[in-house]
Structure 1
Amino acid sequence: MRSTMRTIRPTWLLAVAISAAVIGWVVTELTSRASLALPVLPLSSLVTMGLIAVVCLILGLKVRRWRDGNRDRVLDPLLAARTLVLAQACAYAGAMLFGWHAGILLDQLPTIALRADLGVIWQIVALLSGGVVMVAVGIAVERFCKLPPEDSEPTPKPRPKRESHGEEEFA
């Protein structure tokens, strides 16, 4: 039995982003009413997001090089599988971070004109961009890990239909 992993579905990424946006908006409303600070990640989290994306991309390029024929070294199948899982996790985490900060930004849009300091708005925009980069890297690396169909495998021939002569066939 051969098991295959499912590819990232854009509709699921969109669902994650929308769900996170709704939750981020609700949490921002609640924290604003309680006179608490906005629930925005610090800018230093961009470093972590960037490191995850870079590691994912480096591992993905290694798999892609092997897939494209540069096979001077043996590729560990476990490394390839882990790279695929990392790519998918990167994409979903990016969608979550994007959605969360999009919800916060949507809550803050009516108050932008009242703000003297727009630093937190630019911080939110930077984190939105980081989420988009993570999604893009995750999708790209997942595609790097996809193997092309083998030409050596024979294509299955369709089975000829049996003609029935008024008799019913039971399996």
Structure 2
Amino acid sequence: MAVTALYSAHYRSLVRLAVLLVRDVASAEEVVQDAFVAIHGAWRRLRDPDKALAYLRQSVVNRSRSVLRHRAVVEKYAPKGLPDAPSAENGAIGELERTAVIEALRALPQRQREALVLRYYGDLSEAEIAHAMGISKGAVKSHTARGMASLRQVLEKFS
């Protein structure tokens, strides 16, 4: 089955993409699993099966945005005064958080971070990024350029 082949070939790279967006391995795996479940259910309605990977990437980006929105709401209404205890997620992604690049990337606005992750990690073209993010190619260029300028400034401080 085509979905199984897609899963075998692209699951890990989609999880890595989601980790960079949601900053948490467990949530990233869930986002990717949900994207595969959705494409499996919609496979017969898919107009062009050759674009299934692009559909999956877009689904992962959109679902990652939803996870981040949900987190923001939960954090906003979380009870105050709870002791700060390290979470299990901190241990799972500790290695990723140790690099200056990841930290600098996290400091970027969401759209800039998404554009850079899709461009330099996902190795997507501007057109593919525009499609995945639901924006124009010009906006992709703008977000990418601004994100790179911000990263340079932050990383120069570490040098």
Query: TM-score scaled to structure 1, two decimals?
Result: 0.28
- Structure with larger RCO (C-alpha < 8 A, sep 6+): 1
Of Structure 1 and Structure 2, which has the larger fraction of its residues in helix?
2
Which one has a bigger Cα radius of gyration?
1
